[in-house]
Amino acid sequence: MLGVLLLVLFVGVLVVQAYINAEFTGDHAETEVGDQAHVPAAVLHGGPIVNTTGGQESTTSMPPKTIALTFDDGPDPTWTPQILDLLKKHDAHGTFFVIGSEVARHPALTKRITAEGSELGLHTFTHPNLQRIAPWRRTLELSQTQVVIARAAGVHTNLARFPYSSKTLAIDDTNWKIVKDAGRQGYLVVVNDLDSEDWQRPGVDQIIRNATPTGDNSAIILFHDAGGERSQTIAALERFIPMMKARGYRFTTVTEGLNGSIALSKSAVPALPVNPPAARSDMWRGSAVIWTVRLADGLVWSIAGLFLVVGLLTIGRTGILLLLATRHARQRRKKTWSWGPPVVAPVSVIVPAYNEKEGIEAAVRSLACGDYPDIEVVVVDDGSTDGTASLVERLRLPNVRVVRVPNGGKANALNTGIALARHDLIVTVDGDTIFEKDSIRNLVQAFADPLVGAVAGNVKVGNRQRMVAAWQHIEYVIGFNLDRRLYEVLGCMPTVPGAIGAFRRAALTQVGGISDETLAEDTDVTMALCRAGWKIVYEERARAWTEAPTTLEQLYRQRYRWSYGTMQAMWKHRHALFDSGPSGRFGRVGLPFLALFGVALPMLAPVCDIMLVYGLVFWELRETLVAWSGMLALQLFTAFVAFRFDRESLRPLWRMPLQQFAYRQLMYLVMIQSATTAMTGGRLRWHKLHRAGLVPRTSDVEPIGRVAPEVDTWPSTRGHAEPEHPAAGRAVAPPVPAQSPTGIGPDDLGPEDLPSAGSPPGGGTGPVYTG
């Protein structure tokens, strides 16, 4: 609910900002004059001040040899102060018809106008063409401007000038209705006698000629103090005011001139005050409008700044990624490249499984039938209720054994499997993942380097026919596999994927096995290995095919857990920032890189979509589309490189533009909710995804290699059906040490520090015993 309310507030502020920043053309825009049958002739041929208040229909001109200088579209922080300085220098006053949104932005400048003897008039809040908007909007345009003037300058004004108006002769029936409506609200409508046409910037001499009255005629003259470059206006006024004063003219405000004409007519109409004080209620309303404008402006400027940051981060990350990933790919594909002597040491494959009946048979068969000479497969059934363990047992594969344990979580199952494994090279696999025949062989070759403690394999999406899964296929190739090349070069691999990873037992022992303190146990243990000084590498030839979520709901749950677990792991290992040695290197290179590009950038990425929508609706369509197309082209280029490195078909990339309008937004929500959960200290439970099972990509062949002895759980399960066999015991196993501080090895620990198998620090379900 809080998120929805914040989103509504955010969208509302953006709409306000778009409203107050509506672009407008200058007042010179020509509009066709319509029928004038209902406009009184006295108005058409009268003076420039039109009075329709109280049911009147009259006009007034300036007194003889009187000029009222009027300035539209301000206040402007550059040009309005210069005009005020010039008026003060020549002892003249003017009337400034201001835009309400600009008054809200420059209240001090508005106050200066009245403080120096000039007066204010309304020129609407956003400068719309009043003929083209609804009556309620016309009223709002005037009232909003009135209240912001009240707050900024403490005054009220009776004068209004409509955008795109000119002379009384241009008033047609449509405009006459608007004029009369303004009169009912108490406003005098002011047009002009002469237009300096300074908006055209025709040159100082031409502006002066346009503004000069014929003979001794009085005039209300139109100038502009905003809406463009106004240096010619300043220069023209510098010559025009002294010149007209020398001819005997005096310069007044519109209201002063109107009062002079009333006095000459000896009318009983009382004189109007110049800049009368505003009502306190208007001042309070004006405060709300001004703060709303400031909030809207500040928000958009913040978004624009973030957009720039996101753009720079994206370009920088792409540059670093392509540079280092290309270096990695070229190095690995050299004919002379080798990890060292071939690795043929026996391998134990650990498969933690919880309710994996849809895919467990294909997964285990692909593991047991690999082309590596000595493979032991240990399936740890984590309290499944769907017969997963029985399905594996029915395969009767001689190098596969099943261990049943009560449900204690994936980390517990992994630790149990590692403890029961007979070999020192450990491969961990998810229960829904299918290996290619050579995956294990390719995966463990990196252990020819004695410094390598873990190897990350190449995870592929097996069910990529569905749109949601196809989007994940693109993400796996770009966001995971390409990134792993980068992280290996930097020496700070953050994650060995649970779907396909290999470890030295010695490395796992040094960091205390697999911890259950986070939901991302694979990221947690990988960070611990980095801090312990082990080298972690990526092997692209070791491919594993996994079943990706096929619905947005399942995808959301999976990524929510991943993101939250990653944040947990980063927080857990935050002290590496202050360590020395390998731990410090990871803390000062790996953690900031992951925080910046794995957390901050995805969370800031929504500003790109916000600016896209804002630009399409409220800004220039062409410029917006060009900017968005540029970002998409950069992503497509990165995707092209990544797909080439992985030797993947480019055909799925046609879905990438569509990915921008659903998949990315879902990932935004995932990151935001994950961060919110992390900051509020919320707890997230493990969500089991619905599986349909993958079709094996390898042929069903007889397994090769040493046959592992059959191991039964305690109590015995032989001769019993699966429903009658709740997981009731565990196996006695060699101890797995608790996760120790970086730099402390197993030799530094006493027996009391070594918990039994499957009991990592921070949880677990107790020791394991088998008969």
Active site residues: 72, 224
Task: For residue 372, give both structure tokens.
Answer: 């590596």
Q: Exposed, middle or buried by CB within 10 Å (0-12, 13-18, 19+), for 626?
A: exposed
C-alpha span between 96 and 115 (Å, rounded): 13
**Residue 241 CA: distances (Å) to CA of 88, 252, 704:** 11, 12, 103
C-alpha span between 90 and 74 (Å, rounded): 21
Task: For residue 556, give both structure tokens.
Answer: 């959301």
User: Taking Cα atoms as reference points, which of 74, 758, 71, 12 lies closest to residue 415?
Assistant: 758
The DSSP 8-state label assigned to residue 498 in this structure reads: T
C-alpha span between 319 and 315 (Å, rounded): 6
Q: Which residues, 6 or more positions from 642, have their beta carbon under 8 angstroms from its beta carbon? A: 325, 477, 478, 481, 482
* 607, 303 contact by CB (below 8 A): yes
Phi/psi for 219 (5° steps) reads -165, 145
User: Taking Cα atoms as reference points, which of 109, 122, 18, 111 lies closest to residue 73?
Assistant: 122
Q: Which helix (H) or strand (E) element contains residue 638?
A: helix 621-645
Angle of the 135-153 helix axis to the 107-115 helix axis, nearest 10: 70
Secondary structure of 261-301 as H, E, C letters: HHHHCCCCCCCCCCCCECCHHHHHHHHHHHHHHHHHHHHHH
C-alpha span between 292 and 275 (Å, rounded): 25
Task: For residue 51, give both structure tokens.
Answer: 């009075």
Task: For residue 293, give both structure tokens.
Answer: 């404008």
Which bin fits 127, alpha (ψ -120 to 50), beta or left (φ > 0)? left
Please compute, for residue 329, the number of CA atoms within 13 A of its CA located in the half-sphere on the CB side.
17
CA 653 to chain centre: 23
Which bin fits 415, alpha (ψ -120 to 50), beta or left (φ > 0)? alpha
C-alpha span between 185 and 286 (Å, rounded): 18
Alpha helices by DSSP H, listed for 476-551, are: 483-490, 505-510, 521-531
